Each structure stands twice: as C-alpha cells, then as structure tokens.
C-alpha cells in the first residue's frame, strides 16, 4: 500500500527551492556571444617578407624598450607618470568602477534610520495643559527582489562598461606612448638633418674660399663667387629653419610628458638607427591585443545586458518592507518590551497601460545593441587596415632605403668627380653646385626614409596593441 505524504511536508520541501528560484530571478537578456567578424588567416603584406634585422620577437608592456634608446626610455617613463590624457582616462575608469558598486547595492536590502524627539503641550478646557515627550528610534528596511533580472543585468551592464573604460585607459596609454615615440624620432631625424646641413655648410664654405681664391688669380669669374655664396647662404637658412620644427616637436613632447614646455629640453644627438623586427602574429589575435577593439566588444556586451533591463520592465515589481524600533515618552523607559514597535508588509507595482513606452524602450535597447555591434566590427576592420598599412609600408621602406643610400653613394662620387674636373679647369662651377645639391638632397631624403621606418615601426606596434592583452581586464 502506497503511503501518502502529508501536504505540510510537501509544502515544507517545495517552498524553499521555489523561493530560491524566485530570488535567483529570471534573465531576459539574449545569450551573449562576441559578434562574428570576417578574420583572415594571415596578413597579406606579411607573406614572403621578413625584416632584415632580427629583434626582440615579443612585445611587452614597455614596448619602447625594444628600440634600445635610453633617452626614449626616460621620456616614456615621464609620459606614463604625468600625462594628463592618461589621468583623465584613469579617472573615467574609477568612475565606471564606482557605478558598478552602485548597481550591486540594488541586490541587497536598504536599511535606514530616522530617530526623532518631540515635546508638545496640549491645553485643556480648565486653563491647564499637559506636556508630553515623544522619543522614537525607528529602523526601516526595504528590499525589491530581482525576480526578472533587471538589477542583475544592470550590474552586468555597468561591469562591462567598467571593463570598456579600463580598455579605454589602456588605449589612451598606448596612444600617448606611441605619440611620444613618434615625436622623439622626429626630433632625432631633425638632428640628423641638422648634422647633414652643418657638414654641407662647412663644405660650401670651403668651396667658396676656393672660388674666391681662383677669382683673385683670374681663373674663376665673379659669377662663380656669387653662385657659391648663394649656395652657402641657402644651406645656412635651411639649417636654421630646422630649429623651428625641432622646437615644436620638443614642446609637443613636453605636453605628452605632463611638463611645462619652458622647462623641458632634449639634447642634440642622432645615429643611423635601424627599425626593429615586429612580429604581427595572427590577425585573430588583434581581437584580444588591441584595447580599442576590446573596449568596443565590452560595450556590445553592455548593450546586450541592457536589453534584459528593458524587457524586465514589462513585469511587476514586488517590494518587501519592514520597520522596527523603540518608542517612549521618556528616555528612562526606552529599554523595555512595552517600547518595542514594528511592522512588516509588501507591495506590488506594475504598469497596465503606458501607450507603448516600454515597447519603445525595448526597441531602443535593441537598436543600441545593433549600433555597438556595427561599431565593434568597424573597429576590427580599421585595426586590420592599420596593421596591413604599416606592414606594407615597412616592407616598401626597407627597399626604398637601400635605393636611397645607393643614391647618396653615387652623389658623393659625382661630387668628387665634379670637384676634380673644376679644379683642373675642365668644367664650370655650375657642375660642382649641381653635384653638391644632389648630395644634400639625397642625404636628407635618406634621413627621411629612416625616419619613416622608425615611425612606421612605432605605428605597427600601436596597431598591434603594444603588447597588451584583454585578459588583463578586471572582472572579466
């Protein structure tokens, strides 16, 4: 014979699981997955090409150290410590983390207190009155169980926004450090060009002395002297003009380093540096290595959670409340069972008609989600483009530098021959001037190609994320 189970036992065993299920709440946000993007297997510009000079194959946090330049390292340390753009992004990240705490607080009951003391006198009909004292020490509590997942999704959205703000911070750091490196290499290139012009000015001055000596003996004409003088003055003016550009880049570095421009200075120095080898890795790695892509993806996740918040508004909310405390007419009687006051209750609120307002909010949440998906995919495409641009630029610049350095060598030989023929009286001085101009122009062009190589290496590192990884995001 089958034994019957009392109803009280059924209720006692079933109510706790049901209550736990209700307290856990529902989640009306769509199941989140990173938006699909078309990712190629490799970079087109990487195929069949490898940089001639091997280098450190791993990008790390302080990626600028792979250039082995102590002065650059010193500047980058200043940038990391004092840059105001980074400070702004850090403050935004801290604010976003504070919003997470605010959202999480809604998961718990709210407890308030409101003590009061009042003294009143009431008059009687016989000309006398009664004075009373009322002392109340209440504590009120209220809680709205998150049955429909509105609070949980709000917490998720704020947490994802905080992760996006953290990625924005990393992107700001990457941006200012790469800007500092580019400005620094611009200054060093100008120092190289200044050295080239200084050498040319010295050579032109010697040529002018030679022409003046030949003019004094009647061998050269006054026209040769004027041409030599003009060329010298022009080179001196070009060397002076470099000072304007150098000062502007130095001032830009001061701002990046968070320093006043009048107290910031970089000494003159240069060397024919070669770019380091920067391995691009797989294109799919960009999804984790670039902080701007990570930020865009986190904002997609936040928008997805906001859909759940909008959907939860279609359901009623339940509020549980309670109040307790002590109340007495005198301080001496506050402690005692007769002074205890309490109340408990609950209320439910819902919307019967809102003329489509909640539906509009839900549709807006879906549209916002689609917008963040489009922004994420566009950020990925832009990242792929930037890597391809800098890879192809590096490959082409490597060949261009070889060609330009060959042009410098041939220009030097051309000048040597022109000088010898002029001294022998075979050719006019105009040939010497042409050879000198060719050497100067080709030398400065080679310096510019070397600058392009260095800045392209920096921009490639930036486009690859600078060694950062999305696994460094908190709360992920």
Tokens of 384: 């792929």
Contacts of 347 (CB under 8 A, 6+ apart): 318, 319, 321
Cβ–Cβ < 8 Å for 103, 150: no
pLDDT tens profile 247-258: 999 999 999 999
Tokens of 128: 């006398």
Mean pLDDT of all residues belonging to the chain: 87
pLDDT tens profile 350-359: 989 889 999 9
Give the confidence band of 6 by pLDDT, cuts at 50, 70, 90: low
The secondary structure element, H or E, covering residue 143 is strand 129-143
Q: What is the mean pLDDT of residues 43-65?
A: 61
The pLDDT score that the predictor gives to residue 205 is 95
Q: CB under 8 Å, gap of 24 or more: what pairs does 78-81 form? A: 78/257, 78/258, 78/259, 79/176, 79/177, 79/180, 79/256, 79/257, 79/258, 80/173, 80/177, 81/258
The secondary structure element, H or E, covering residue 141 is strand 129-143
Give the confidence band of 7 by pLDDT, cuts at 50, 70, 90: very low
* Cα 229 to Cα 418: distance, rounded to the nearest angstrom: 18
Domains, the chain, ranges and CATH? 26-106+147-315+357-472 (1.20.1600.10), 109-143+316-349 (2.20.200.10)
C-alpha torsion sign, points 290, 296, 300, 305: positive
SS3 276: coil
* Cα 390 to Cα 256: distance, rounded to the nearest angstrom: 23
Cβ–Cβ < 8 Å for 433, 413: no
With pLDDT > 90 as the criterion, what percentage of the chain qualifies? 63
The pLDDT score that the predictor gives to residue 273 is 72
The pLDDT score that the predictor gives to residue 218 is 86
Tokens of 300: 């997609």
Cβ–Cβ < 8 Å for 438, 404: no
Higher pLDDT, 322 or 271: 322
* Cβ burial, residue 176 (10 Å; 0-12/13-18/19+): buried
* Cα 82 to Cα 64: distance, rounded to the nearest angstrom: 17
pLDDT tens profile 132-146: 788 888 899 999 998
Give the confidence band of 47 by pLDDT, cuts at 50, 70, 90: low
Give the confidence band of 476 by pLDDT, cuts at 50, 70, 90: low
Higher pLDDT, 142 or 131: 142
The pLDDT score that the predictor gives to residue 410 is 97
Answer yes or no: is pLDDT of 90 > 50: yes
* Cα 105 to Cα 151: distance, rounded to the nearest angstrom: 9
Tokens of 6: 């009392």
The pLDDT score that the predictor gives to residue 336 is 61
The pLDDT score that the predictor gives to residue 328 is 75
Q: Which of 30-44, 49-63, 80-94 has the highest mean pLDDT?
A: 80-94
pLDDT tens profile 375-395: 999 999 999 999 999 999 999
C-alpha torsion sign, points 93, 94, 96, 97: positive
The pLDDT score that the predictor gives to residue 57 is 44
* Cα 67 to Cα 73: distance, rounded to the nearest angstrom: 9
The pLDDT score that the predictor gives to residue 49 is 43
The pLDDT score that the predictor gives to residue 425 is 85
Give the confidence band of 272 by pLDDT, cuts at 50, 70, 90: confident
Answer yes or no: is pLDDT of 154 > 90: yes
Give the confidence band of 208 by pLDDT, cuts at 50, 70, 90: very high
Q: What is the mean pLDDT of residues 225-245?
A: 95
The pLDDT score that the predictor gives to residue 326 is 83
The pLDDT score that the predictor gives to residue 270 is 81
């Amino acid at each position: 014979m089958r034994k019957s189970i009392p109803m009280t036992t059924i209720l006692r065993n079933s109510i706790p699981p049901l209550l736990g299920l209700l307290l856990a709440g529902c989640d009306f946000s769509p199941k989140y997955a990173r938006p699909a993007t078309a990712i190629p297997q490799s970079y087109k510009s990487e195929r069949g090409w490898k940089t001639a000079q091997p280098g450190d194959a791993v990008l790390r946090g302080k990626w600028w150290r792979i250039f082995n330049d102590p002065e650059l390292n010193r500047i980058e340390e200043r940038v990391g410590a004092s840059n105001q753009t980074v400070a702004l992004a850090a403050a935004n990240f801290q604010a976003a983390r504070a919003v997470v705490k605010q959202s999480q607080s809604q998961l718990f009951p709210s407890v308030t207190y409101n003590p009061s003391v009042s003294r009143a006198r009431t008059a009687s009909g016989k000309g006398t009155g009664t004075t009373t004292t009322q002392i109340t020490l209440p504590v009120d509590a209220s809680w709205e169980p998150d049955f429909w997942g509105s609070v949980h999704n709000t917490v998720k959205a704020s947490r994802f926004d905080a992760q996006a703000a953290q990625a924005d911070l990393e992107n700001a750091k990457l941006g200012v450090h790469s800007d500092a490196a580019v400005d620094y290499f611009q200054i060093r290139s100008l120092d190289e060009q200044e050295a080239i012009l200084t050498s040319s000015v010295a050579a032109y001055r010697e040529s002018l002395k030679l022409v003046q000596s030949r003019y004094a003996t009647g061998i050269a004409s006054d026209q040769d002297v004027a041409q030599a003088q003009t060329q010298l003055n022009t080179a001196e003016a070009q060397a002076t003009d470099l000072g304007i550009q150098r000062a502007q880049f130095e001032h830009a570095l001061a701002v990046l380093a968070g320093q006043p421009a009048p107290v910031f200075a970089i000494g003159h120095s240069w060397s024919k540096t070669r770019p380091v080898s920067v391995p691009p890795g797989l294109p799919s790695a960009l999804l984790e290595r670039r902080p701007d892509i990570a930020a865009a993806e986190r904002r997609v996740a936040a928008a997805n959670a906001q859909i759940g918040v909008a959907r939860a508004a279609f359901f009623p909310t339940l509020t549980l409340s309670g109040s307790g405390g002590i109340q007495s007419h005198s301080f001496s009687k506050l402690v005692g069972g007769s002074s205890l006051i309490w109340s408990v209750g609950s209320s439910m609120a819902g919307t019967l008609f809102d003329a489509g307002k909640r539906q509009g909010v839900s549709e807006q949440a879906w549209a916002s989600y689609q917008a963040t998906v489009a922004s994420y995919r566009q950020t990925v495409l832009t990242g792929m483009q930037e890597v391809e641009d800098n890879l192809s630029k590096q490959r082409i610049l490597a060949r261009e530098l070889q060609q330009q350095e060959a042009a410098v060598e041939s220009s030097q030989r051309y000048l040597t021959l022109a000088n010898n023929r002029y001294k022998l009286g075979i050719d006019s001085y105009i040939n010497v001037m042409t050879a000198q101009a060719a050497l100067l122009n080709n030398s400065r062009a080679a310096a510019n190609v070397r600058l392009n190589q260095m800045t392209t290496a920096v921009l490639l590192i930036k486009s690859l994320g600078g060694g950062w990884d999305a696994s460094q995001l908190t709360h992920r």
